[in-house]
Structure 1
Amino acid sequence: MSAFTDLKALYAQPPPAFGKEALAQLWALDPEYTNLNNGSYGTPPKAVLQSAFEISQEIESNPDAFHRYGYQTRLQDARSKLGKLIGAERDEVFLVANATTGVGTVMRNFEWEKGDVIIICNTTYAAVSNIGAYLADAAPNPKLVVLELHFPLTHEEIIEKFKAVLASPEAQPAGPNNKRVAIIDSIISNPGVLLPWKELVKIAKEENVWSVVDAAHSIGQELDINLKEAQPDFWTSNCHKWLYSKRSCAVLYIPFRNQHIIKTTVPTSNYYIPLAKRNGNPNILEQFEWIGTLDYAPFLSVLEAIKFREWLGGERKINEYCHDLAVKGGRIVAEILGTQVMDPDASLTLNMVNVELPFPPTLKLSKELNMRLNKKLIEEHHAYSAWFFHNGKWWTRLSAQVFNDLDDFEKLGKVWLQVSNELKKEVEASSA
């Protein structure tokens, strides 16, 4: 990797072809490492790394100038550009560390009462699920209800299951003044499938249920988000996963109509105004602008990430390539493994595809297995895709990016086949 990227020279030339050419010219990834796990951590291009490095140099050249008056205008610009991407006004858009922070900020700002209900899914991301579990454990102990989703499922089946859980006796609030809050995924982490989240938000609204959308994987992967039209009560998405910002950075959407709910950032900002002194002013703009001493380089790198994506050809071109690659690559891996993709008609697939692994059915998840497989994939085979257990089977989630091509999927398929065969032999030997 070159230690320096000339941004002016970069944007003066046309972008390279997607795949290996883009990988070699635009990313800092080890060329010997096959990365089909963009969904976990994201992978910023060298242009964004360069921009973030220059911002860091600016910060350290005069920390007082930067923190006291140097970043605020650019932060507003980043929020404005993000708002255009997701269909929101600038002052409905806030930047936080990650989507878990976004969900946590919203959930901890609700004034919980005994008899309130929190609705999550069995597939809710673990840290977000634990936010619901913690709130249910803490006084006044709102009730936690879990919607079970076991894939493969169709969007129609998901909608019916959501309606059923909202109508179930266990999900009813204790009294007319109690509230219900549903945490809804837009794209589940594992399995990596698209939910009909806009329809679920609409149903929640009709049933007087607050909707908090965990859209960790949406921005940069999902086209036509349009929050003005969808009208979730709250929505949050990681910019460092699919949008190419430097890690870690997420957008938190708090529509004007619900800004009275958010009384404080988490942790509470120096600019917090006690409720008795607010005179109706929620002042969350000031609070989110300065929560404390943070690294603002990732937040401001959003500007370079958006510029870089426009130079590549824009959101539609990027995502059409990645979606097509995910669908075709998933079929290749399933053929190599002799298994199946979770979503054969690709109706739930964007840029992540789930393929069944031929692991022994008796294999149990453990810390030892987790460490062993991760090290084997990363250190021995120099490749990785996320893997997980769901609905009685083992799966791998393969993320397609513009620096990937079908050769990467073929390589991962062969790696997983070798790993599966090794596991089968060990299980057979231990039971002999």
Structure 2
Amino acid sequence: MASNSSENGSHPKKPKLNHQQINEQTLISPSEIAAEFSHHDPTIARINNGSFGCCPSAVIAAQRRWQLLFLRQPDLFYFSLLRPGIDSSRRLLLPLINASRLDEISLVDNATTATAVVLQYVSRAFSERRFSPGDAAVMLHYAYGSVKKSVHAYVTRAGGHVIEVPLPFPVFDSGEIVREFRNALNLAKLENRRVRLAVIDHITSMPCVVLPVKELVKICREESVDQVFVDGAHAIGCLKIDMEEIGADFYTSNLHKWFFCPPSVAFLYCRKKERKEQEEGVEYDDVHHPVVSHEYGNGLPVESAWIGTRDYSSQLVVPEVLEFVSRFEGGIEGIMKRNHDKVIEIGEMLAKAWGTQLGCSPEMCASMVMVGLPTCLGIQSDDNVMKLRTHFREKFGVEVPIYFRPPKDGEIGCVTGYARISHQIYNTVDDYYKFRDAVNQLVQDGFTCAELYG
């Protein structure tokens, strides 16, 4: 494929996403929102957007057009349409995340693939002796499960050492998180380990908490951590993200969770090294897609744009996503603010109804919130919460993930189960009333999780 001459150029003018001057008659109506998501199962209260996201019919139709273009004339699609289409999506993302260069952004399948890209880079550094045996990678205890397994698979097997940062939950002060993170870096110092990689969540998955990533990245710079990878799987479309402000070396976020793309697609940002870093031998450019194909060696954005015959359509519909969100007051920023405000209002309503509490302060939430479940439900293990989740789905028609928070030493009668509540534009208050009433029914019936094992 021909290279794109704009890869190293400055990014295009930022599109106006706040749309404050849109005439009210052009804004999407509640009935039109319902029509866009009419493919959702109407019997299910879907309050779990955080797991798999959602995609409106307008974007699904655009995806289908791309799929038919491929099926109609594959050679034309692959050799003439695919690369320009992916580049168009990348250009539109550039100002949304405030990255300085187009060649810093690649599109990959999901955040898990992006994690593999970064960790394979780190693993090669160990195998090529740029990193020494016993050098450390630091990650959060609440890192996403597949990310934790990837860190161990790539770093530990390459001779590195993994340090997990224990985080408090419930948590109402970001300072607690900062202190624990500093403690982990100090532990590495005490053990005479050089920290080569820090993996930091922007929004932890379970339990969900917005972390102070800018401050944590700043600490990493102060402590000479070589590489910082921010896993922002939930971030884009959920809260504002700014690559220049955050300052990480790598950042990934799924576009199919909160940004309305069909599954699955994520962007991976790889910061380009400065001249000083080049002189010091920092090898940021040795980053490759885990699937080696014809474009290997031409840079990650190009490698990722052709990894064999597959369905690329989810990577090609960013223009239609931006057209969709422009129909809402305030565009994507307006959607994010309304989702945040609504999920906090709903979370507080549920906590009051059950006599419990939220799992963190409102400013540490985005479009998801953790709400304590009544202690009388007898939640005592991870297996309990998986079975209880299935029970809510099958008996009450509610789809919601649940987190088990083990009691600390000496704790008696504490909340051990938290529901992760999401709010997205398709949700109505009846979805949450349905969940509230289901929990109240279980309490009224004297139900405990022990009954799920009958």
* Fold in common (TM above 0.5): yes
The whole-number CA distance in structure 2 between the counterparts of 1:429 and 1:318 is 38
The whole-number CA distance in structure 2 between the counterparts of 1:157 and 1:126 is 22
The whole-number CA distance in structure 2 between the counterparts of 1:243 and 1:318 is 10
Once the two structures are TM-superposed, the CA of residue 406 in structure 1 deviates from its matched residue by 2.6
The whole-number CA distance in structure 1 between the counterparts of 2:55 and 2:236 is 14
Amino acid aligned to 1:265: H
Question: Map of 1:220-369 to 2, 5 A cutoff?
Answer: 220-223=237-240, 225-257=241-273, 260-273=284-297, 283-313=299-329, 314-343=331-360, 345-360=361-376, 363-365=379-381, 367=383, 369=384
Question: What's the counterpart of residue 424 of structure 2?
Answer: 401
Amino acid aligned to 2:431: D
Amino acid aligned to 1:151: F
Amino acid aligned to 1:384: E
Question: Map of 1:24-423 to 2, 5 A cutoff?
Answer: 24-27=34-37, 28-88=39-99, 89-110=101-122, 111-112=125-126, 113-138=132-157, 140-153=158-171, 154-169=173-188, 172-174=191-193, 178-209=194-225, 210-223=227-240, 225-257=241-273, 260-273=284-297, 283-313=299-329, 314-343=331-360, 345-360=361-376, 363-365=379-381, 367=383, 369=384, 372-392=387-407, 393-419=416-442
Contact 1:23–1:404 (CA<8 Å) still a contact in 2? no
Contact 2:385–2:403 (CA<8 Å) still a contact in 1? no
The whole-number CA distance in structure 2 between the counterparts of 1:292 and 1:232 is 30
Once the two structures are TM-superposed, the CA of residue 268 in structure 1 deviates from its matched residue by 1.9
Amino acid aligned to 1:308: F
Task: Give the secondary-structure state (helix, strand or coil) at the position aligned to 1:256.
Answer: coil
Is residue 424 from structure 1 mapped to residue 444 from structure 2 by the alignment? no
Task: Give the secondary-structure state (helix, strand or coil) at the position aligned to 1:187.
Answer: coil
Q: Once the two structures are superposed, what CA deviation does each residue of 1:218-246 show, in whole Å capped at 9, x if it has no partner?
A: 000112x1112221110000000000000
Amino acid aligned to 2:418: W
Task: Give the secondary-structure state (helix, strand or coil) at the position aligned to 1:109.
Answer: helix
Once the two structures are TM-superposed, the CA of residue 260 in structure 1 deviates from its matched residue by 3.0
Task: Give the secondary-structure state (helix, strand or coil) at the position aligned to 1:414.
Answer: helix
Q: Once the two structures are superposed, what CA deviation does each residue of 1:339-387 show, in whole Å capped at 9, x if it has no partner?
A: 11112x41201110110112447544355x4664343322332221211
In the superposition, the TM-score normalised over structure 1's length comes to: 0.87
With over 3 angstroms needed to count, the CA separation of the structure-2 counterparts of 1:37 and 1:22, relative to structure 1, is farther
Contact 2:376–2:448 (CA<8 Å) still a contact in 1? no
Once the two structures are TM-superposed, the CA of residue 288 in structure 1 deviates from its matched residue by 1.9
Q: Is 399-408 or 259-268 further displaced after alignment?
A: 259-268
5+ residue gaps in structure 1? 1-10, 274-281
The whole-number CA distance in structure 2 between the counterparts of 1:191 and 1:372 is 18
The whole-number CA distance in structure 2 between the counterparts of 1:423 and 1:171 is 51
Q: Is 372-381 or 386-395 further displaced after alignment?
A: 372-381
In the superposition, the TM-score normalised over structure 2's length comes to: 0.83
The whole-number CA distance in structure 2 between the counterparts of 1:93 and 1:46 is 27
The whole-number CA distance in structure 2 between the counterparts of 1:302 and 1:428 is 46
The whole-number CA distance in structure 2 between the counterparts of 1:200 and 1:391 is 26
Contact 1:184–1:214 (CA<8 Å) still a contact in 2? yes
4+ aligned runs moved over 6 Å, structure 1: 428-431
With over 3 angstroms needed to count, the CA separation of the structure-2 counterparts of 1:96 and 1:426, relative to structure 1, is closer
Contact 2:108–2:265 (CA<8 Å) still a contact in 1? yes
Contact 1:325–1:406 (CA<8 Å) still a contact in 2? no
Contact 2:377–2:449 (CA<8 Å) still a contact in 1? no
Task: Give the secondary-structure state (helix, strand or coil) at the position aligned to 1:312.
Answer: coil
With over 3 angstroms needed to count, the CA separation of the structure-2 counterparts of 1:406 and 1:430, relative to structure 1, is closer
Task: Give the secondary-structure state (helix, strand or coil) at the position aligned to 2:230.
Answer: strand
Once the two structures are TM-superposed, the CA of residue 173 in structure 1 deviates from its matched residue by 5.0
Contact 1:333–1:355 (CA<8 Å) still a contact in 2? yes
Once the two structures are TM-superposed, the CA of residue 201 in structure 1 deviates from its matched residue by 0.8
Once the two structures are TM-superposed, the CA of residue 82 in structure 1 deviates from its matched residue by 0.8
Amino acid aligned to 2:95: K
RMSD after superposition = 2.5
With over 3 angstroms needed to count, the CA separation of the structure-2 counterparts of 1:239 and 1:425, relative to structure 1, is closer
Task: Give the secondary-structure state (helix, strand or coil) at the position aligned to 1:229.
Answer: helix
With over 3 angstroms needed to count, the CA separation of the structure-2 counterparts of 1:115 and 1:307, relative to structure 1, is same
The whole-number CA distance in structure 2 between the counterparts of 1:52 and 1:430 is 43
Once the two structures are TM-superposed, the CA of residue 40 in structure 1 deviates from its matched residue by 0.2
Amino acid aligned to 1:117: A
Once the two structures are TM-superposed, the CA of residue 207 in structure 1 deviates from its matched residue by 1.0
Question: What's the counterpart of residue 6 of structure 1?
Answer: none
Contact 1:249–1:298 (CA<8 Å) still a contact in 2? yes
With over 3 angstroms needed to count, the CA separation of the structure-2 counterparts of 1:63 and 1:423, relative to structure 1, is farther
Amino acid aligned to 2:145: A
Contact 2:385–2:417 (CA<8 Å) still a contact in 1? no
Task: Give the secondary-structure state (helix, strand or coil) at the position aligned to 1:342.
Answer: coil
Amino acid aligned to 2:339: C
The whole-number CA distance in structure 2 between the counterparts of 1:426 and 1:254 is 45
With over 3 angstroms needed to count, the CA separation of the structure-2 counterparts of 1:240 and 1:261, relative to structure 1, is same
